[in-house]
Each structure stands twice: as C-alpha cells, then as structure tokens.
Amino acid sequence: MVPFIAVLLAACILLVWKLHKTFSYWDGKGIPHVGLLQYAKDVCNMFARPFHEVYESGHKKYGRLYGTYQDTDPCLVVGEPDLLRLIYIKHFSSFADRNTPQESGNVVWDRMLNAIAGEEWKNMRSISTACFTSAKLRATVPRIARVGRRTADVYVELGRRNQTADVHDISLKSTLDAIVAIAFSIEIDSHKDPENAFRKHYYNIFSREVGWRVLMYFRMPKLFKLFHLLGMSLAPERYTENFVALMRTIIEDRIQNNVRMDDQLQVFLDAATNNKDGKARGMTMDEVISQSLLMLVGGSDTTAWTLTSVLHMLALNESSQEKLIEEIDRVIGKEAVSLEKLDSMPYLEAVISEALRLNRINPCHIRQCTAETTLNGIHFTPGMAVNIPINCIHRDPEFFEEPEVFKPERFLPENKDQIRAFTYAPFGLGPRNCIGKRQALLHLKILLVCIFQKVTLRRRVETVERVAFKSWTLLPQLASPIILQPVPR
C-alpha cells in the first residue's frame, strides 16, 4: 500500500510540475498573459459561449498584445498593426503556415488548401489561383446574376404577400446556388428545391453535430489529434462520403463524355490530367475533391453571412439603404449588371466593406511560427501559435472612430487613406490571404444590386438590433433569425 501511495504522490507532483512548467511560458517575458486557471476558463468558455466573445474579453482585459496558450503550446495574440506588418508581410516566410493538424480522419479534409503547408501549399495555391483570374471572374457574372434575379423574386413575392423574410435562410440558399454554378456549372434552385443533393450533403457536413469538432480542430489541434487516434474524424464519415460520391459522379460524367466547362472544377481536373501525364506536379483526384469542397466552404456560408449582415445593417440604417439604391438606379437602373458598372459604384463597395468590418465571420486569423524569429523584441519559436483577433482590431476605437456605428462613408475613396494600414483585414493580408476575395466581393455586389433593383427592406418589431450567436461553433451561427420586411419597388 505504501509503495502505491508513494508512486501516486510522485505522479501527482510530476503532473503539477509539468503543468506549471508548460503554462508559465510567458512569465517574466514582459508581456501581459493568461495564467493556467484563466486559460482553463477560456477553454471552457470557448465551448460554452460564442467563440468571438473569448477574444473580445481577452482584448478588453489584456490589450492588443498578450500571451496565452493553444493546447500546450504558447500562443501570442497580436492586435498591434506594426507587428502585424512584420508577420503578414516582411517575415511571412516564418509565419506562412496555419496550425491545423492535417489529421482530420479523412484525406478530403487533410488535402484542402487551408490545411496544407510548405511547398505543398505553394503548389496548390498556384493551381487554385487560376480559378480567380479576371477572365474567370468575368465569366461568372451571368451565372451569379441569374441567382440574383431569383433571389430578388423571392423577396418580391414575400413583399406582395405582406410576409416577412428570414434573411439568413434566403442568403444561405442563394449563395450556395451561386457557388455551385460558379464551381461546377450546375444550376440548382435551393429556394424551390431545398432538398437538392448539394444542399443536403453540404449542410449535413456542417451540422451542429460537427460544430464542436471543427472548433477543436482549429483551436486545440493536439487534443483533436488525441480524439482522432480514438477514432473521431472531423465530420462523420457518412456525411463526407456522401459528398465525395456526389463529386465523383460529376467528375466521371465529364471524363466519360469528354465534357469541358469554363469553371473551377475544370481548373482542378486539368491539373490532375497534367499530373497523370507527368508534365507537372498537379493534383490527385482526392485533391480535386478536397479543393471542390473548399470552394463550397469558402464561398457559401461566409458569403451568406456577409450578405445577411449587409441587408440587416441597411434595414437598420435607412439613409444608407437610400444612398445605395440611388447609386444602383443611377449607374445600372433596371439593366443587367456588368463588371464595368460594378466597378463604378463606390458606395456599394463601401457598404460591403463596412459590414465586413463590423461582422467578419471568422473572428481570428491563425498563423504558426515555423522558424526562430525575433520581432520588436518578442522571441518567436517554431510551433508557437499566433492568433490575430481581427474582429477586435476592426472595433478598436483608436483605429475606427465610433467603431460600433455602421458608417460606410469610412470606405469611400476620399476617406480610405485615413484607415491605418493593417487595421482592416477581413480577408487576411499577405501571400496567404483569402484566395477567393475578388470572387466573394463580386458575388456580394451582384446579389445586392439584384435585390435592391426590386425591393427595399424594412425593419419589423421582431427585427433584432444586435445579433446573437450559438456556442460550440468556430464560425458564427445565428441563435435566432433576422426578420425583415421586403417592400416591392
């Protein structure tokens, strides 16, 4: 009995010593930091509260620069523009990777552009860039416009019936329809057929059942690896396999019938063909499917939330909505949209930029140090996580006057120069910024023009002023719907 107690006591002492050693990394380094107990509380809050609130509370308590932890690794939270310039640009090679574990339990997730690193990332980024050339974007305009007109018709019909609109539900359906048309040249109408295969399989993958896994995958990668060893995958295997089967059917149909399309899938298939012929390091078929799913992930929910946010903000700020409608009527009128006309609509772009400042869907950019580096007197070691709380930076009163006020005029051409560099980054900055930024902005502009050509949107008694979000998710999910009243023009 005595030897057992001695061993148990020694194990407890060793555990306490190890915990103290691990979670005292920031002690004596001259940086405000989170201790073990506060970190444990933050981990609990990460699952119990909306994710962005954890960063907001840390920003208020510790300021723009503070130390914390990610699993057992030190993590520096950086909201200082001068340091961000070094991380994003000047010393990018030391912070090029993200800290995703690349062991999700399924090769489809592990080969996505956002999950890979080093030379693999460079090669895949180079291939994927071909999806977003000016010529490719121009070709998407009529496809997005068709979805935009259908979306406007949904709002018009609700207005004629004097019925309210669940704005986010409409946005989710419309943006998925648009990205499927852009990526795969397939026309779906999720408003009339909400059970279509793309929508069903896609939203099964990102159901609430998966939310906490995604949160752990990005925020606690070492713990996720442990769960992975115990048999857990990022998404239930049946959901991922359903999507994979759908994609294989589409791909096999193209190959067997020798069909070529002017879309993103064709870019990836061409790269896979090059790989097969040995002309260049291209893509495997698993990678083709991986990037196809990423196009949906990156182009659907994120764009839907931004569209919802813009519509909500404009309904709450009628003068801004009137200015936007005046610009639409003056530049486009009832005609079809074109790239040239969209490029001459500064207020439209300003409205989107301000909505992205206030309501960025991803509250934090993640980087990982890959080489020993010292910046502004702070020593970074390989494996150290760097978190950039972009929502907190966007709402910092030192950078944006009246930060909680919706004020599109900040982003008009005559005022843009007043925005301090590295304080506005909804799509990230540097070589690893969002590869689909231009497509997302084009997508939003077309949908907004189509909607406001046909309707105005008004608040109702049940319209919320401040949006509430669910817990257990990495990306924001609404706790209650955003209800607006469409009024046909």
* Residue list for the binding site for heme: 434
Do residues 205 and 194 lie in contact, with contact meaning Cβ atoms separated by under 8 Å?
no
Tell me the β-bridge partners of 69.
74
Residue with tokens 């019936």: 161
Sheet holding 385-388, edge to edge: 65-70, 73-78, 385-388, 365-368
Sheet holding 455-459, edge to edge: 165-166, 483-488, 455-459
Tell me the β-bridge partners of 485.
458
Residues 6+ positions from 244 with CB-CB distance below 8 Å: 108, 289
Residues of 195-222 as b/e, b for ≥16 C-beta within 10 angstroms?
A: ebebbebbebbbeeebbebbbbbbbbbe
Instruction: List the structure tokens of 322.
Output: 């009137």
Q: How far apart are the first and last CA of the chain?
A: 84
Q: Which residues are annotated as a binding site?
A: 434
Radius of gyration of the chain (CA): 24
Residue with tokens 């959901």: 239
Instruction: List the structure tokens of 339.
Output: 């790239």
Do residues 100 and 216 lie in contact, with contact meaning Cβ atoms separated by under 8 Å?
no
Tell me the β-bridge partners of 73.
70
- Write the DSSP assignment of 253-309 as a string of letters: HHHHTT---SSHHHHHHHHHHHHHHTSS----HHHHHHHHHHHHHHHTHHHHHHHHH
- The bridge status of strand 73-78 relative to strand 65-70 is antiparallel
- 173/307 Cα distance (integer angstroms): 12
Instruction: List the structure tokens of 354.
Output: 């301000």
Residues 6+ positions from 170 with CB-CB distance below 8 Å: 151, 154, 155, 191
Q: By C-alpha distance, which of 202, 176, 184, 188 is closest to 264?
A: 184
Do residues 354 and 411 lie in contact, with contact meaning Cβ atoms separated by under 8 Å?
yes
